[in-house]
Amino acid sequence: MSFFLSSVFLAALPLAVAPLLLHFFDRRRNVVIEWGAMQFLQEAATRRTSARRLQQWLLLLLRILAIAALVTALARPLLPGQWLGATDRRETIFVLDNSLSTLRQAGDVSLFDDMIAQAEQAIEDLPSGDTVRILIASPYPVWITPASVRVDIGSRPDLRDQLRALRPTHGTSDLLASLLKVVQSDIEDETLMERRIILMTDGQGADWNTSDEAGWQRFRDVLAEVHVPTRVDIVKPDATVVSTTNIAVNGIRTSRSVVGVNQRFTVTAQVRNFSRDESAASSLDWSVGDESREQSNIPALDAGATYDAIWNHSFDRPGVFTLSCQVAADDDLQPDNTATVVVEVVERIPVLLVEGSTGFAEIQQDAYLVQAALGRVDGQDDQNWRAVFEPRTIPPRRLETIELDRFRVVVIPNLTDLSQEAVSRLSDFVSGGGGLWLALGPRTDVDRFNRYMFNDGDGLSPVSLDRIVDERRGPTNSTTINPFLKRHPATADLADDDKLDTGDVKVTRRMRFHTSAVSDDVSILLDLTNGEPLVVENYFGEGRVIVQGIPLRLQWSELAMSQAFVVMVHDWLSYLSEPGATRRNLQPGDPIAVHVGKTRLRDATLTTPAGEDITLTGEPVDDGIEFRTSRTILPGTYTLEFGLSGDGVPFHVARDPGESDLSALTATDRRFLSETAGLGREYTETETAGSNQRDPVWPLLLMLLIVIMVAELLLSGVIARNRFGTDPISDTTEQWAGAAPLFGNISATNESSSPDPLDEPLRTKEQVIESGQRRSDLVS
Amino acid sequence: MRRIDWQVYARNDRYYIRQFEEETNLQALVALDTSGSMRFGLSTVSKFEYARRAAACLARLLLHQRDAVGAAVLHDSSPAFVPARQNASHLQSILVALQNATPSEGGSLPTQIRSCIPRMRRRGMFILFSDCFGDIDELATALKVVRARGHDVTVFQVLAPEEIRFDFRHWSSFQSLESAQRLNLDPASVRDGYLKQLRTFLDRLEEAITGIGGDYVRTTTEHDLAETLGFYLRGRAANGHVGGNVTDRMVTL
């Protein structure tokens, strides 16, 4: 441990002898002067006082000390111990695991409450002067304290209140991300001696993400680079106290997210036994809003086993409804016994059918059977039954002009050819979330399809067309749809071979796709028993496209006559219309986006599962206002209210089912964390924090430097005054008595009556004699 | 009535009494110190050179006035003496003597001064050009003897500006011009003491010379020689110097 924060400056310490060197260098420059006034110099040299010598040596010493003080201060030395009387300065950071699993009970209180109580006590035990920060780990790491808080009599109650205001979430904790955030945080106090991270967790293994080896290695590297000694203490409850018995609803789904009025749909809830032991039989309660509607029995489940409870329901009015289920299980973690899904019930879903044979009788038209599957005959709905989908039929040329945004899906039952303009408009439609169902037939122009619909892989179709294949040339004169369908949400019902005849549908002719274009990346909804794909899917922008190799009529196959046809039409229309519908069942982080038609509303309020209200401002879009937010990281039910109506539109963010697995870290996980991340030391009450505090000295050195410089200046002044302050000796005789001085005042100031003889003109000797200026006293 | 100068009356119609009439010519001896210290000169000509020129100029001045001037080169081993003469051509002899003078290593100035006394048969002026370094008392005694013989004494003390200011900044080795003595020291550290010593010396010297009735002129080698001599001459004229038998009027240069 270095005693200097910037020890590189110590390399300049030899400069301190520079004044001494200059002094000796100056002495070596002995200038020889041949001198005449030796007698005075001898006496002066003899009388040179020791006091003056002392002054000169003292000045030299001050200069040396000044340079040494400056260089040492730049090196920022630290004194060990408490030489300067300062107290320990240490930072304690609490990382709190507030995931769903901390809501399980440990005795009379939940694990989270117990964790908070321990944190409060730890803060009380911290000495005044230490600093504290708090970070919660779920659903993602967030600082509760924006900066370090110094512990004192005033801050302890505030910290206590902040801890007590925390609540667990229904999400998971990312402990790796939390620890990384802490060790990477800035150290505001450069004199900090130690940093202690106290991780309080319930010990659930799922929160540790031990599969991310690279992440933990990086944590270890960052920890090693921190220049302040940092240690991580893990606080977790006694394993014998904490139960891992848990029955949870993993998730709930519906066969359709948008259903029509009185249209039956299926709700499926998956229940899982996360316990180590077999669970007792229980029941599952279905409710709409707060109203209980149905109950399902849940049998006893083995450890780790799942059970799907099914409920069929319909709504008799349009609206957005919240369906929930709750398993009545006696376990220690109740919040995961419930699951919720939001269903939108609509009157009608507009669908556009492109009819290429408008000149024929209706029964001969391509779209006839599709309309019949939707309960529409002779242009009118069946009085006894009405599908939620409301079809409208147009000729192909109308695709260039009609407003496609009014429809959710466009169906072309027997594709012939489309203009480039129509293809372009369909591309825009699908990109914006619309659905497109293309059924190929005998009149499909393969070349134009490949050029405009496939477009080298950038078009609406995921595959290019090869040619029409006649299956009747095979040994069986036909081929059938493969009954072992891939698990795809659009074919879930079609896969029910007991109820439907999907596997019996014979196909005599079809449009074959280029096999080279059908890669593993292409989604196949239906294939044939000969292995060839029959129906493929493409994701184009926000929408979906289904391309099938047979038309939606009695041509080339028996599909339109089968029982599966109606189910297929309804299921695939629902599937294709989903992207265009408002997504109400989200994963954490998915955006909530609601489009409202022309309205004066500009603001909406989103209420989060934590009870927080967020104001959203609508953005103008083409034909209305859109409200959008991505603040959906917290699992639970969100409610969006427009204006002051008071009626909220629900959205639901699903929780991670993995959080229901209460298994603790395995021995392998602990070994991994110890070896890879250097973690594993556990905190006990007997642990004492070592005082390794060091105090900064450079402020004192800088003050000393100032004092030295002032002293040097004063002493230099004294010496200079002694050397050169002596009054100079006049270099001429003082003013001659009665005469003008030699320099500067040539004009006579003589007050004598005698004129200045130098001012008189020259005269001859005789004149001098005559004027009586011989050596005789002449008296006039 | 017999004292009235009737010739003057006839010319000026004014009465003048003639008290006495006597010879007006002055006899002067310019003495040049050739001690070793006179060799010093750093930023200017040496003191010896400066003094020699001053002595030459003064000698010429006196000769031009029809005064008798002699010269004495004060030297321990080879002194030179030029008796006073009045004629203008005597200047050459004086100049030759001054030209041939060279500074010696040392010497006793008072002794050399005393040696000039017998050569001054008539009362006159004794004009000394020297830096006067040495024992003041002995010098004053020697000059007092000169003065006692009825001569007027004038001392031109010639110093170098470095000797007056002592502004040396670096460590120096001061080598004596009269002996083998050498001092290595930091001049700035002894400046104060040196100047005090010098000031005391100069004050005592001036007091000693003026105390015996002599004239004291101090100058440095950086001063213009004409101004220095002019200062001296004006001073003497302002004083109306009538001491002894010396004429009190000199033709201005």
Find chain A residues with C-beta within 8 A of B3's C-beta.
Answer: none
Q: What are the backbone dihedrals phi and psi of residue A702, each rounded to the nearest 5 degrees, phi first? A: -65, -40
3-state secondary structure of B83: strand
Test mutation, A41, A56, A758, chain B, max B CBs within 10 A: A41
Q: CB-based contact (8 Å) between A737 and chain B? A: yes
- CB of B240 within 8 Å of any CB in chain A? yes
- The pLDDT assigned to A691 comes to 35
User: What pLDDT, on a 0 to 100 scale, did the predictor assign at position A276?
Assistant: 87
B171, B176, B183 member nearest A26 (Cβ): B171
Q: Do B196 and A29 touch (CB under 8 A)?
A: no
- Alpha-carbon distance of A369 to B196, in angstroms, equals 133
**What residue of A is the nearest CA neighbor of B186?**
A27
Chain B residue at shortest CA distance from A749: B238
Strand partners, A19: none
DSSP at A675: I
Among A733, A750, A767, most B C-beta atoms within 10 A, so best to mutate, is: A733
Nearest CA in chain B to A725: B192
The structure's pTM equals: 0.56
- Look-up: residue for tokens 């409870």? A309
Using a CB–CB cutoff of 8 Å, tell me whether A240 touches chain B: no
User: Which stretch of A157-171, A301-315, A493-507 has the lowest confidence by average pLDDT?
Assistant: A493-507
- Residues A591-632 have pLDDT tens digits of 998 888 777 778 889 999 988 899 999 888 877 888 899 999
On whether the CB atoms of residues A669 and A210 are closer than 8 A, the answer is: yes
Cβ–Cβ gap B40/A35 under 8 Å: yes
Confidence band for A768, pLDDT divided at 50, 70 and 90: very low
Structure tokens that stand for A428 in this block: 């825009």
B3, B38, B42, B192: which to substitute to probe chain A, counting the most A Cβ within 10 Å? B192
Residue B71 distance to chain A (closest CA, Å) = 24
Q: Give the per-residue pLDDT at A620.
A: 87
For residue A475, whether the previous peptide bond is cis, meaning omega lies within 30 degrees of 0, is no
Average pLDDT across chain A, whole number: 83
Chain-chain contact of B193 with A43 (C-beta, under 8 angstroms): yes
Which residues, in sequence order, are CB contacts of A209 under 8 Å at separation 6+? A174, A175, A176, A215
Q: Across the interface, do A776 and B22 touch by the CB < 8 Å criterion?
A: yes
**Integer Cα distance of B16 and A439 in angstroms:** 163
Of A651, A614, A619, nearest in space to A631 by CA = A614
Helix (H) or strand (E) holding B55: helix B47-64
- For residue A758, the chain B residues in CB contact (below 8 A) are 233-234, 237, 252
CB contact under 8 A, A758 and B196: no
Q: What's at A366, amino acid-wise?
A: D
DSSP-assigned beta bridge partners for residue B73: B32, B80
Sign of CA dihedral A37, B147, B79, B226: positive
- How many helices (H) and strands (E) are present in chain B, helices listed first? 8, 8
Q: Which of A633-647, A649-663, B179-193 has the lowest mean pLDDT?
A: A633-647
A113-117, A290-294, B1-5, B116-120: least confident range: B1-5
Backbone angles phi, psi at A135, to 5 degrees: -135, 135
Q: Nearest 5°: phi and psi at A144?
A: -80, -40
Predicted pLDDT of residue A490: 85
pLDDT band at A738 (very low <50, low <70, confident <90, very high): very low
Distance CA A236, CA A40 (A): 92
Cβ of residue B99 closer than 8 Å to a chain A Cβ: no
Q: What is d(CA A486, CA A506) in angstroms, rounded to the nearest whole number?
A: 19
Mutate: best of B67, B138, B176, B247, partner A, most A CBs <10 A: B176
Q: Are strands A149-150 and A131-136 parallel, antiparallel or unpaired?
A: antiparallel
Q: Do B231 and A738 touch (CB under 8 A)?
A: no
Q: Is A723 on the interface with B (CB under 8 A)?
A: yes
Measure the CA–CA gap between A141 and A134, rounded to whole angstroms.
Answer: 10
Helices and strands (DSSP H and E) totals, chain A: 14, 40
What 3 state SS string does A509-554 have?
EEEEECHHHCCCCCEEEEEECCCCEEEEEEEECCEEEEEECCCCCC
Q: Reduce the DSSP state of residue A737 to 3 states and report it.
A: coil
SS3 of residue B103 by DSSP: coil
In chain A, which residue's Cα lies nearest the Cα of B22?
A775
Q: Decide if A606 contacts A617 (C-beta within 8 A).
A: no
Q: What is the DSSP string of A255-316?
A: S-SEEETT--EEEEEEEEE-SSSPPPPEEEEEEETTEEEEEEEE----TT-EEEEEEEE--S
Locate B209 and state its tokens: 């010379």
Tens digit of each residue's pLDDT (9 = 90 or more) over A415-438: 988 899 999 999 999 998 899 999
- Count Cβ atoms within 10 A of the Cβ of residue A57 and give its class: 0-12 exposed, 13-18 middle, 19 or more buried: exposed
Q: How far apart are CA A718 and CA A316, in angstroms?
A: 106
Spell out which residues of chain A touch residue B25, defining contact as CB-CB under 8 Å: none
Q: Which of A574, A619, A695, A680 is nearest to A81 (CA)?
A: A695
Q: Do B181 and A733 touch (CB under 8 A)?
A: no
User: Which residues of chain A does B231 touch, with a Cβ-Cβ cutoff of 8 Å?
Assistant: 732-733, 736, 739, 741-742
Contacts of A729 in chain B (CB under 8 A): 164-165, 195, 198-199, 202
Neighbours of A277 (CB within 10 A): 10
CA angle A409, A410, A415 (to 5 degrees): 150
pLDDT of residue A64: 94
A731 touches chain B (CB under 8 A): yes
Pairing of strands B125-130, B27-33: parallel
Q: Do A762 and B251 touch (CB under 8 A)?
A: yes
- Look at A567-581, B28-42, B45-59 and tell me which has the smallest mean pLDDT: A567-581
Task: Give phi and psi for A156, each to the nearest 5.
Answer: -60, -45
ipTM above 0.90, yes or no: no
Alpha carbon distance B234, A736 (integer Å): 9
At A682 the pLDDT is 46
Residue of A nearest to B176 (CA): A35
Among candidates B206, B223, B234 on the partner chain, residue whose Cβ is nearest the Cβ of A758? B234
Burial A241-272 (b: 16+ CB within 10 A, else e): ebebbbbbbbbbbbbbbbbbbebebebbbbbb
Which residues are bridge partners to A585 per DSSP?
A652
Q: What residues of B are in contact with residue A780 (Cβ under 8 Å)? A: 14-16
What is the predicted pLDDT for the residue at A224? Answer: 84
CB contact set of A194 (below 8 Å; sequence gap of 6+)? A90, A91, A228, A229, A230, A231, A689, A690, A692
B168 contacts on A by Cβ (under 8 Å): 31, 33
pLDDT score at B206: 94
A contacts of B243 (beta carbons < 8 Å): none
Asked if the model's pLDDT at residue A79 lies above 50, the reply is: yes
pLDDT for residue A607: 93
Distance from CA of A780 to the nearest CA of B (A): 6
Give CA–CA dist B214/B151, Å, rounded: 9
With CB atoms and an 8 Å threshold, state whether A778 touches B19: yes
Are A508 and A478 in contact by the 8 Å Cβ rule? The answer is yes
Single-letter code of the amino acid located at A602: R
- Angstroms from A712 CA to nearest CA on chain B: 17
Residue of B245, B250, B248, B249 lying closest to B122 (CA atoms): B245
Whole-number pLDDT of residue A381: 67
State whether residue A644 sits within 8 Å of chain B by CB. Answer: no
Q: What is the pLDDT of residue A417?
A: 85
Please state, in angstroms and rounded to a whole number, the distance separating the CA atoms of residues A288 and A269. Answer: 14
Cβ pair A350, A390 in contact under 8 A: yes
